């Protein structure tokens, strides 16, 4: 079995992912905070983790993935209060929208998607464990984690956190602490509405942000698990804090491997509401882009490099994607061609492209190289087909290879919804009729009318094919 080699932020090296005996690969992804619709930056990270789980499966491993839903934090409480509602009612719509966007992007649904508010009991138990082991202190009823009690703090970010001055804002929690690096585990009941408070042995209040990921990951994946993922902005302090809480609570290694996805920028700038460049999936669909184009766009780059989103870049995706879709359709047509076994050069083209594809993904999820292997297969396949060497069996071999690759990219199959509209079909049929009558000028008028609608025709020995291009 080919093993996935993945960069590990913790060690700073590329390391093999090896499942524990008979166990699936256990992965945890810091999921969305459901206070508004997730943006394309969030989906860049979630696309990378979808590619991770799909690659692990492609390589023959089983996966158990947990992705949390953060449904309690300062913003959620403020927004829900402002709307005179509560957490449950307020987060319902953003959560539904998130699941809808996952489906639009053909992302696999993680095996477990726990909500923070449904796991406050587990968080309280972990805080009690940390208290018993002497890792906490209390100020005005709020419980803090004492970083000084965990000497290896900072090992993930390799940041010299000792220099951070007391009083500096490294956390959004504005409470008095012994040390600026310390973070809150439990906030004493303040002005929060009753629906944002829970009872604990150490007082009524609500959890700090970091504790939920430790409690929920360990509940579903065990105290030590394989891969923990998130965007690069979470390395410090969120992931450092998760490690501190978990390892001090259990005395065991928390996650073996840390994967961090670099950010998506918009026109080379960070996204922000003030710049008006925070786009979400419906924004892209509203501009006429299809979900397979958005998926290809988000999946095509290396996860460890920043990705620059531009509208032009998204439009250009169609050139590459249409080439794959057209090839897929061509193979479908050719599968009905009879005669004999597949030719050696066809089998050879499929085998070597698949090997290159697998090697690229196994090498730290190198998506650009994997796509180069896909396009190589399209070129090779098209040229053998042009030479007339592809018979039915050969077309099936090529199509099987392309389908296998699509297990990871999930956008190569031509969209079924992409049929000709009623008008377009009528023009298409009119042109075919005109050609039969040898009325070439009428045929040309219909062809041009289709072209204006973004439908390009190609006449081949097997009949007329069409493909859609963006205007
Ligand atoms: P949040 O909903 O803010 O908790 O973020 C969910 C995930 O999206 C986290 O893993 C973040 O690190 C990630 N993320 C946030 N902004 C971006 C961005 N611009 N590009 C890539 N990932 C991001
Ligand atoms: Zn987290």
Q: How far is CA 215 from the centre of its chain?
A: 23
25-29, strands of its sheet edge to edge: 63-67, 25-29, 225-231, 255-261
- Best residue among 38, 43, 45 to mutate for probing ligand 1's pocket (most ligand atoms within 8 Å of CB) is 45
Ligand 1 centre from 336 Cα, in Å?
47
**Largest alpha-carbon pair distance within the chain?**
90
| Helix 422-436 and helix 440-452, axial crossing angle in degrees, nearest 10 | 160
For residue 258, the surrounding DSSP H or E stretch is strand 255-261
Arithmetic mean of pLDDT, 402-409: 98
Confidence band for 177, pLDDT divided at 50, 70 and 90: confident
**Could you identify the atom of ligand 1 that is nearest to the CA of residue 307?**
20
pLDDT of 162 over the 70 cut: no
Instruction: Render pLDDT for 43-92 as a digit per residue (tens, 0 to 9).
Output: 999 999 999 999 999 999 999 999 999 999 999 999 999 999 999 999 99
pLDDT of 104 over the 50 cut: yes
- State the first-to-last Cα distance of the chain, in angstroms, to the nearest integer: 45
> Higher confidence at residue 210 or residue 178?
210
Ligand 1 centre from 41 Cα, in Å?
6
Q: Which residues line ligand 1 (CB under 6 A)?
A: 30, 32-33, 41-42, 44-45, 70, 230-231, 233-234, 261, 263-264, 271
Ligand nearest to the CA of 231: 1
pLDDT at 176: 63
pLDDT of 160 over the 90 cut: no
pLDDT at 454: 82
Ligand nearest to the CA of 230: 1
Nearest to 335 by CA among 399, 378, 407: 399
- Best residue among 29, 30, 42, 212 to mutate for probing ligand 1's pocket (most ligand atoms within 8 Å of CB) is 42
pLDDT of 377 over the 60 cut: yes
Residue 7 pairs with which residues in a beta bridge? 14
Strands 307-309 and 264-266: parallel
Contact partners, residue 219, CB within 8 Å, separation at least 6: 114, 119, 122
List the residue whose alpha carbon is closest to atom 18 of ligand 1. Answer: 41
Could you tell me the two tokens for 151? 């000497």
pLDDT of 166 over the 50 cut: no
User: Considering the chain, what is the average pLDDT of its residues?
Assistant: 92
Ligand 2 centre from 241 Cα, in Å?
9
Listing DSSP states for 90-118 in one string gives: HHHHHHHHHHHHHHHTTPPPPSB--BGGG
Ligand 1 centre from 297 Cα, in Å?
17
pLDDT at 462: 67
Query: Are the CB atoms for 238 and 30 separated by under 8 Å?
Result: yes
Ligand 2 centre from 239 Cα, in Å?
7
Cβ atoms within 10 Å, residue 17: 22
pLDDT at 426: 83
Could you tell me the two tokens for 414? 């031509």
Confidence band for 169, pLDDT divided at 50, 70 and 90: very low
Could you tell me the two tokens for 158? 């390799």
Ligand 1 centre from 46 Cα, in Å?
8
Arithmetic mean of pLDDT, 348-377: 98
pLDDT of 339 over the 80 cut: no
Instruction: Render pLDDT for 16-45 as a digit per residue (tens, 0 to 9).
Output: 999 998 999 999 999 999 999 999 999 999
Nearest to 144 by CA among 205, 217, 234: 205
Ligand nearest to the CA of 70: 1
Give whole-number Cα distances, 442 to 100, 162, 392, 435, 462, in Å.
Answer: 45, 79, 35, 8, 22
pTM attached to this predicted model:
0.88
pLDDT at 418: 60
> Higher confidence at residue 262 or residue 333?
262
Contact partners, residue 91, CB within 8 Å, separation at least 6: 34, 35, 69, 71, 76, 80
Least confident of 65-79, 290-304, 334-348, 445-459: 334-348
**Cis-peptide, bond into residue 237, ω within 30° of zero:** yes
- Best residue among 51, 233, 236, 278 to mutate for probing ligand 1's pocket (most ligand atoms within 8 Å of CB) is 233
Nearest to 239 by CA among 264, 217, 263, 272: 217
Ligand nearest to the CA of 76: 1
Residue 265 pairs with which residues in a beta bridge? 308
Arithmetic mean of pLDDT, 210-234: 98
| Helix 392-409 and helix 344-362, axial crossing angle in degrees, nearest 10 | 10
């Amino acid at each position: 079995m080919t093993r996935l080699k993945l960069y590990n932020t913790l060690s700073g090296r590329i390391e093999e992912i090896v499942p524990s005996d008979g166990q699936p690969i256990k992965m945890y992804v810091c999921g969305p905070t459901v206070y508004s619709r997730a943006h394309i930056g969030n989906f860049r990270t979630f696309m990378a983790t979808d590619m991770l789980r799909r690659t692990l499966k492609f390589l023959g491993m089983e996966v158990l993935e947990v992705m949390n839903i953060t449904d309690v934090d300062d913003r959620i409480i403020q927004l829900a209060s402002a709307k005179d509602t509560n957490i449950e009612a307020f987060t319902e719509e953003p959560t539904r929208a998130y699941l809808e966007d996952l489906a639009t992007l053909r992302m696999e649904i993680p095996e477990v998607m726990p909500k923070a508010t449904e796991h406050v009991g587990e968080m309280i138990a972990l805080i009690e464990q940390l208290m018993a082991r002497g890792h906490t202190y209390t100020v005005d009823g709020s419980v803090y984690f004492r970083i000084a009690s965990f000497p290896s703090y900072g090992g993930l970010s390799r940041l010299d956190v000792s220099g951070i001055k007391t009083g500096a804002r490294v956390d959004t929690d504005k409470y008095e602490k012994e040390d600026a690096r310390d973070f809150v585990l439990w906030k004493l009941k303040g002005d929060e509405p009753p629906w944002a408070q829970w009872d604990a042995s150490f007082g009524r209040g609500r959890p700090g942000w970091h504790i939920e990921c430790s409690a929920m990951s360990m509940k579903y994946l065990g105290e030590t698990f394989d891969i923990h993922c998130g965007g690069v902005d979470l390395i410090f302090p969120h992931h450092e804090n998760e490690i501190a809480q978990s390892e001090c609570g259990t005395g065991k290694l928390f996650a073996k491997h840390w994967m961090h996805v670099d950010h998506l920028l918009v026109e080379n700038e960070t996204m922000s509401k003030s710049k008006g460049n925070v786009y979400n999936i419906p924004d892209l669909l509203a501009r006429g882009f299809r979900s397979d184009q958005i998926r290809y766009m988000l999946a095509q780059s290396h996860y460890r490099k920043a990705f620059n989103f531009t509208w032009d870049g998204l439009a250009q995706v169609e050139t590459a994607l249409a080439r794959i879709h057209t090839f897929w359709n061509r193979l479908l047509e050719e599968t009905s061609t009879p005669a004999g076994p597949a030719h050696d050069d066809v089998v050879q083209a499929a085998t070597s492209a698949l090997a290159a594809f697998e090697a690229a993904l196994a090498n730290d999820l190198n998506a650009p190289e994997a796509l180069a292997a896909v396009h190589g297969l399209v070129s090779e396949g098209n040229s053998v087909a042009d030479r007339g060497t592809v018979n039915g069996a050969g077309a099936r071999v090529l199509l099987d290879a392309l389908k296998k690759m699509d297990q990871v990219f999930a956008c190569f199959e031509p969209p079924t919804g992409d049929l000709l509209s009623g008008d377009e079909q009528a023009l298409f049929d009119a042109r075919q009729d005109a050609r039969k009558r040898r009325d070439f000028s009428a045929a040309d008028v219909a062809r041009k009318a289709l072209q204006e609608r973004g439908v390009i025709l190609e006449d081949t020995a097997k009949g007329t094919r069409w493909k859609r291009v963006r205007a």
